[in-house]
Structure 1
Amino acid sequence: MGILIIRLIAVAVIGYLLGSLNTSIIVGKLYGTDIRKHGSGNAGMTNTLRTLGKAAALMVIAGDILKGVVSYLIGQLVVSTIPETVTLDLAGIGGMAAGMAAIAGHNWPVYFGFRGGKGILTSFAVVMMMDWKLGLILLGIFAVIVAVTRYVSLGSIIASAAFPVGAAIKGNGPVFIVFSAVLAILAVARHSGNIKRLLSGSEAKLGQKKKANG
């Protein structure tokens, strides 16, 4: 058990450091822009799309997904060889721990003053690694909500909240459900400002420019 805990801590640190490579901030710097000083101020794909355009947004999508996938794979590689993961029914815990840490790194990047994004793309990558079938269902929910309302934030919130519900209905194990619930809470909490704007009717829709600090 001691070795398991040590390796879990190690992969969490690795995941956090990888997640802290906030792609939108890095891409923004390539454009000579601090994305956090424009639009909504959020260091994420949607604000990058509004501020810098489609090419920059595509780079952010690729980077955010890649770091979630890589973190998960490293976590699995390092932890899955420990016998306790089988005897204690902890399959996938290494990947989940590293993936969750990558999301935390994206949200609070150590390299960028702990001011990051909301972690939705990295979260989606981790979800797909955890259970790709459930991930596709959540992607479908997100797509329908955005198509109907044009609110990316609302799609992200509803899809995130549906993750632990879907995991429970699908019959995933207790460790999986706990991780999915933590991920959902983290994602929804990061959208607290969006929730307030949705309720007040001031949230920007997809394709609509957003006022600074709005």
Structure 2
Amino acid sequence: MFDDVGSFFLVACFSYGLGSIPFGLILTKLAGAGDIRQIGSGNIGATNVLRTGNKKLAIATLICDASKGVGVVWLVGQTTTPALTALASILVVAGHCFPIWLKFNGGKGVATSLAVMAALDLWLGAVFVFVWLLTAFLSRYSSLSALLAMAACVVAGFGLLDSNMIKIAILVLGGIVWTRHHTNIGRLFSGTETKIGAKKS
């Protein structure tokens, strides 16, 4: 499955380490916006950074969180095996969601997962973006958009990709993102979820 133990640990440490960099927290502090964990939902991702009122800061966070997903998967994919690429895909998102530096309480993995999907296959990235935008337009719920986009990518991945290891990785990523949104799912069912553009009370 894996070439050797050394490659396994090198890819694992690189992927998790880069994924665990909390760009949302770093950028908001550098910009003087305070600790993002004390704002809005307390999440370190771009959606919550937007609640600071600084759109440029939110875009910068989105780009940085996406870049680590693309960078890791592209580099590992170009230099190693599909099995190690699958491992990198999972761990870069896991690093973002469960960073050791923040007591394993990080983001929800949406931007990083989108980047990983696009790095694995551009069509998967297109599926994610299309479903996210369509759902967001119709519902105005960022969380619902992310959940449906991930679900669509899991289904599309099994049809588009050849590697079983990569298919399993996408399924695991879907599970991570859905798990990280468990509180959002509860609010969606109760009708209390915050819509895009609305201030969180």
What is the TM-score with the length of structure 2 in the denominator?
A: 0.93
Residue identity (%):
35
Contact 1:74/1:98 (8 A) holds in 2:
no
Residues in 2 aligned to 1:162 and 1:76: alpha-carbon distance in whole angstroms: 23
Closer/same/farther in 2, CA of residues 61 and 149 from structure 1, 3 Å limit: same
Question: Which one scores higher on RCO, CA 8 angstroms, separation ≥ 6?
Answer: 1
User: Which of 138, 143, 148 is the matching residue for 1:158?
Assistant: 148
Which residue identity is paired with 2:126?
Answer: L
Count of residue correspondences? 200
What is the TM-score with the length of structure 1 in the denominator?
A: 0.87
1:110 is displaced (CA, Å) by: 1.9
- Where does the alignment leave 5 or more consecutive residues of structure 1 unmatched? 81-91
Cα deviation digits, residues 29-64 of structure 1 (max 9, x gap): 113311011101111110101124201101101100
User: Which of 122, 136, 140 is the matching residue for 2:130?
Assistant: 140
Residues in 2 aligned to 1:2 and 1:152: alpha-carbon distance in whole angstroms: 37
User: Which stretch shows the higher mean deviation, 169-178 or 113-122?
Assistant: 169-178
1:10 is displaced (CA, Å) by: 1.4
Does residue 64 (structure 1) correspond to residue 54 (structure 2)? The answer is no
- Where does the alignment leave 5 or more consecutive residues of structure 2 unmatched? none
Q: Structure 1: which 4+ aligned runs deviate by more than 6 Å?
A: none
1:127 is displaced (CA, Å) by: 0.5
Which residue identity is paired with 2:29?
Answer: K
Contact 1:72/1:94 (8 A) holds in 2:
no
The secondary structure found in structure 1 opposite 2:4 is: helix
Residues in 2 aligned to 1:172 and 1:128: alpha-carbon distance in whole angstroms: 16
User: Which stretch shows the higher mean deviation, 151-160 or 7-16?
Assistant: 7-16
1:99 is displaced (CA, Å) by: 2.6
The secondary structure found in structure 1 opposite 2:197 is: coil
State the partner residue of 1:83: none
1:171 is displaced (CA, Å) by: 5.3
